[in-house]
Amino acid sequence: MVGLIERYRERLPFAPEDPVVSLGEGGTPLIPAPHVSERAGVEVWLKLEGANPTGSFKDRGMTCAVSAAVREGAQAVVCASTGNTAASAAAYAARAGLRGAVIVPEGKIATGKLAQALMHGARVIALRGNFDRALELVRELAARHPVALVNSVNELRIEGQKTAAFELLEALEDGLDALCIPVGNAGNITAYWRGFTEAGRRPRMLGFQAAGAAPLVHGAPVADPETVASAIRIGRPARWEEAMDAMTSSGGAVRAVSDQQILAAYRLLAAGEGVFCEPASAASVAGLLAHGAGDARRVVCVLTGHGLKDPQTALEQAGSVVPSESELGAIERAVLG
Ligand code: F0G
């Protein structure tokens, strides 16, 4: 399948002759969720953004940000990240033949994401500080040196990510009433809202933050954010005002979900729906189950990243393996017992 820029070029800031760096991102599955629907009492669909090439929604924005970096003659791309942006930036930089440098909070990113960034040849810098500080530093770095900043403060990232809203409207004939989405740095909710607004459809935007990292819910930055959902461990979202505008002008809301609620939704999705997402992604479903969606009848929950990103948390949450001697009787007991 062709990538996003080819598919939506007339709605993106790219001319036909512009260079395109793509890994065939976008066009992700949208599937019904019978178990979640039953529990929530509404029709629920899941948008599987973990099916993107690097396993998260970041690829939508990254194809645009890195293509623009090539167009502008940049030599390197940099970002701060809780992991997924780093993996995606590293992959697209490799594809484009650019240098990549990613700054991540030391010890606080999921193993799969770290493996990806390293394998793609990026320089991975482990900062003794959190994501918010990393973003501050990388913004200063980009202001002083000729490197392209590919965080979602980059407009091209939002442009690319808005295409997910177009896909939802193409797939659901009668549209959707509400969108449930995890909120970290608040780029993605901003992007969906832009996409919906451009398409002239305005579902209720329901943003969910982890309780220990919920600045938008409190209306104030959180100095030391903490949550099992490491991807959204963010205390000072860059797109704060735009995210709040999306939620208020759509009649939506921003709410908090506890780590316990996130992990319960994470397990339900995997064992009940057959969908393995990462903990941060499960915040959308946790939020729907905890807070409802008002009078919405059809709801889409965005599952932002693949479960394989974070094998550590999965193994902590899952059942244990069953050991067996290598003979039939033992296997029978192990399988059928
Ligand atoms: N879900 C996942 C899996 C993420 O990786 C992120 C953000 C979000 C949700 C929240 O999206 O920031 O646009 O509100 N991850 C960023 C990163 C911060 O560095 O990978 P947002």
The residue-averaged pLDDT of 76-99 equals 98
Asked if residues 86 and 117 have their Cβ atoms less than 8 Å apart, the reply is yes
240 pLDDT more than 90: yes
Do domains 4-56+160-316 and 58-155 share one topology? The answer is yes
**Rounded Cα gap, residues 269 and 303, in angstroms:** 10
The residue-averaged pLDDT of 85-100 equals 98
DSSP 18: S
pLDDT the model gives residue 44:
98
Closest residue by Cα to residue 243 from 183, 291, 303: 183
What tokens were used for 102?
């990613």
pLDDT the model gives residue 52:
98
Strand bridging mode 43-48 / 76-80: unpaired
1 pLDDT more than 90: no
Which ligand 1 atom is the nearest neighbour of the CA of 87?
20
Whether 82 lines ligand 1, by a CB cut-off of 6 Å, is yes
Whether 152 lines ligand 1, by a CB cut-off of 6 Å, is yes
**What DSSP assignment string belongs to 153-221?**
TSHHHHHHHTHHHHHHHHH-TT--SEEEEE-SSSHHHHHHHHHHHHHT---EEEEEEEGGG-HHHHTS-
Is the domain spanning 58-155 CATH 3.30.460.10? The answer is no
273 pLDDT more than 90: yes
- The sign of the CA dihedral 123, 126, 132, 133 is negative
Whole-model pTM? 0.97
pLDDT the model gives residue 80:
98
pLDDT digits 0-9 by tens, 285-331: 999 999 999 999 999 999 999 999 999 999 999 999 999 999 999 99
pLDDT digits 0-9 by tens, 166-203: 999 999 999 999 999 999 999 999 999 999 999 999 99
The residue-averaged pLDDT of 112-120 equals 98
Domain covering 4-56+160-316, topology: Rossmann fold (3.40.50)
For the chain, percent of residues with pLDDT exceeding 70: 100
pLDDT the model gives residue 311:
97
CA of 280 to the centre of ligand 1 (A): 8
Asked if residues 91 and 58 have their Cβ atoms less than 8 Å apart, the reply is no
Residue nearest to atom 15 of ligand 1 (CA): 231
What tokens were used for 310?
């974070």
CA of 185 to the centre of ligand 1 (A): 6
Confidence of residue 112 (pLDDT cuts 50, 70, 90): very high
State how far the alpha carbon of 149 is from the alpha carbons of 34, 131, 170, 324, in Å: 41, 15, 31, 52
Sheet holding 99-105, edge to edge: 123-127, 99-105, 76-80, 148-149
**What DSSP assignment string belongs to 223-278?**
SS---S-GGG--SS-TTHHHHHHHHHHTT-EEEEE-HHHHHHHHHHIIIIIS--B-
Mutate to test the pocket of ligand 1, among 108, 185, 208, 310 (most ligand atoms within 8 A of CB): 185
Residue nearest to atom 19 of ligand 1 (CA): 81
Domain boundaries, the chain: 4-56+160-316, 58-155
Asked if residues 26 and 163 have their Cβ atoms less than 8 Å apart, the reply is yes
Residue nearest to atom 11 of ligand 1 (CA): 184
Mutate to test the pocket of ligand 1, among 85, 137, 151, 232 (most ligand atoms within 8 A of CB): 232
pLDDT digits 0-9 by tens, 39-58: 999 999 999 999 999 999 99
Please provide the average confidence, as pLDDT, over all residues in the chain.
97
CA of 174 to the centre of ligand 1 (A): 28
pLDDT the model gives residue 256:
98
CA of 144 to the centre of ligand 1 (A): 26
pLDDT the model gives residue 34:
98
Integer-rounded Cα radius of gyration of the chain = 20
Residue nearest to atom 4 of ligand 1 (CA): 231
Whether 88 lines ligand 1, by a CB cut-off of 6 Å, is no
